[in-house]
Amino acid sequence: MLDSNTAMAAQDLAHIWHPCTQMKDHEQLPIVPIKRGEGIYVYDMNGHKYIDCISSWWVNLFGHCNPTINAALESQLKELEHILLAGFTHQPIIKLSRRLCELLPPQLNKCFYADNGSSAIEVALKMSFHYHYNTASHLQKRTKFLSLTNAYHGETLGALSIGDLGLYKQTYMPLLLENITTPVPYVQSNKAAQDLKDTIIEPANLQESAYYEAELNALGAILTRYGEEICAFVLEPLVQCAGSMHIYPKGFVQKACAMCAEYGIHIIFDEIAVGFGRTGSMFALEQCGVVPDFLCLSKGITGGYMPLSVVVTSDVIYEAFYAPYEEHKAFLHSHSYTGNPLACSAANAVLDIFEQEHIIKRNATLSQAIATHWHTLQTHPKVENLRYCGMIFALDVRSTKRIAPFVMTQGLQRGILLRPLGNTIYFMPPYIITEEEAKYVVEQIGKILEML
Ligand SMILES: *Cc1c(COP(=O)(O)O)cnc(C)c1O
């Protein structure tokens, strides 16, 4: 008799082609069928439980089957499951939009919805281009986008164009949009940062402008040459998550955005991964002190329940599209499930939890406590670039081998669900994890490191 996990994994492979996966890997590494979730734990078919150390691809903020979010969804299900958003509206989306705008700087005042992160990026790129098109008095010359090296903005063709991770992008190069990349600062390899060697890297340790002067100069040269041809500068403020959880100085974000703005280039903040408290503030833009023209949010927005994304922009952008229909200025972009009421009600429940349980304040203490445990991994000879920002903890393993399958398998045996990015092991838990549980995870990661 096959155990339930094995039987179900075989059924799965008959018809399912999994995302971001070399399917042949599953000859060695079995698919893990998950039966149920509760809090930070998920349970497989054989009843083994695993701590979700990566918040189910960074979406889960308050645990699986969270009672507050469950209740919100159940009650919304009795009212309305879906209605198209073109020409119609509903209470959950009105409430959500008002609350998002109240949490953001006053300039960010209009919400355009989609249903996943990549689509939000597509919306922001198209809107930026279209704004320039609608407002240019002469022929629109702005057809390029500017983004950072090591960036990730999603997998659809537009989003892929502005990303910089060869692994996802290389094959499709002939299909992609014209894009310019400017270097992101790497404090780790910067001579000025030798003093950081034994310190844990965190935003507070990255204040000095010497850490990013060279990168600002490189940007300056690009702007001198292409400044008038660029629609928007797109970036993940503070942490490039898919780019191996790379933490970089907020001073760079601030100065780079100011330089772009002088050329009339829009700023698009991709906070799809870092929004909703991941970096320690509700939104990373608060720490950067920048008000972007477009803010893209998704992932944590529904606490990991339902697909939803939003681009928040300003009245200045909105008004450039506002005209009699015949002038053809409207933004005719849509997705079938845009602004789904169930998703919006989950998002409202997420904001309720943030408010009622003072999550940002509580996370500040929790983050410090976990960082102290994380720091103990520094002594391991193969570990480098130990770093954290808010509720993101990461380290690199010095190894020429591919470590991910081994680390995942070992993790599962120890009851922790990990999924390294290349040779980067990261810990990005739901915010409801306790210090004790986090300490357990760190200890297990320490034991796995011993085996590498
Ligand atoms: C995940 C992610 C995206 C893409 O979102 P999807 O919902 O996976 O399409 C875009 N940008 C960043 C920073 C992300 O982390």
Per-residue pLDDT tens digits for 17-38: 999 999 999 998 899 999 999 9
State how far the Cα of 417 lies from the Cα of 43, in Å rounded to an integer.
11
Please determine, for residue 167, whether its predicted confidence score (pLDDT) is greater than 60. yes
pLDDT above 80: residue 350: yes
In the chain, the amino acid numbered 241 is C
Q: Indicate the top mutation candidate among 272, 306, 428 to test ligand 1's pocket, ranked by most ligand atoms within 8 A of CB.
A: 272
Nearest CA to ligand 1 atom 5: 117
Q: N- to C-terminal Cα distance for the chain?
A: 34
CA nearest to 159, candidates 114, 117, 127, 118: 118
* Lowest-pLDDT range of 86-100, 136-150, 152-166: 136-150
* Alpha-carbon separation of residue 341 from 123, 306, 311 (angstroms): 20, 10, 17
Supply φ then ψ for residue 420, to 5 degrees.
Answer: -60, 150
DSSP 421: B
Two structure tokens written together for 297: 């949010």
pLDDT of residue 196: 62
Model confidence at 62: pLDDT above 70:
yes
Cβ–Cβ < 8 Å for 157, 177: yes
Confidence of residue 204 (pLDDT cuts 50, 70, 90): confident
Q: Which residues line ligand 1 (CB under 6 A)?
A: 116-118, 121, 152-154, 236, 241-242, 270, 272-273, 298-299
Rounded distance, CA 400 to CA 417, Å? Answer: 23
274 CA: nearest ligand 1 atom: 13
So what's the pLDDT on residue 138?
65
pLDDT of residue 2: 75
Which ligand 1 atom minimizes the distance to the CA of 121?
10
Cα separation, 248 vs 191, in Å, equals 15
More confident residue, 308 or 210: 308
Please tell me the predicted confidence (pLDDT) of residue 193.
53
Rounded to the nearest angstrom, the distance between the alpha carbon of 289 and the centre of ligand 1 is 23
Burial of 81 (0-12, 13-18, 19+ CB in 10 A): exposed
**What pLDDT is stored for residue 208 in this prediction?**
87
Q: What is the pTM of this model?
A: 0.97
State which ligand 1 atom lies nearest to the alpha carbon of 155.
9
* Average pLDDT along the chain: 95
User: Which ligand 1 atom is at minimum distance from the Cα of 236?
Assistant: 13
Q: Please give the distance, rounded to the nearest whole angstrom, from the Cα atom of residue 326 to the centre of ligand 1.
A: 35
Is 190 in contact with 213 (CB distance < 8 Å)? no
Looking at the predicted structure, is the pLDDT value of residue 110 above 60? yes
pLDDT above 90: residue 141: no
Compute the distance between CA of residue 190 and CA of residue 444 in angstroms, rounded to an integer. 31
Angle at 191 between CA 190 and CA 192, to 5 degrees: 90
**Each residue of 117-135: b (16+ CB within 10 Å) or e?**
bbbbbbbbbbbbbbbbbbe
Confidence band of 323 (pLDDT split at 50, 70, 90): very high
CA of 154 to the centre of ligand 1 (A): 5
Q: How many CB atoms lie within 10 A of CB 180?
A: 17
* CB-based contact 259:223 (threshold 8 Å): yes
The pLDDT of residue 195: 59
* Selection from 125, 175, 117, 176 nearest residue 146 by Cα: 125
- Say whether 232 sits in a helix, a strand or coil: strand
Reported as a pLDDT band with limits 50, 70 and 90, residue 96 is very high
Per-residue pLDDT tens over the stretch 404-428: 999 999 999 999 999 999 999 999 9
Percent pLDDT > 90 in the chain is 91
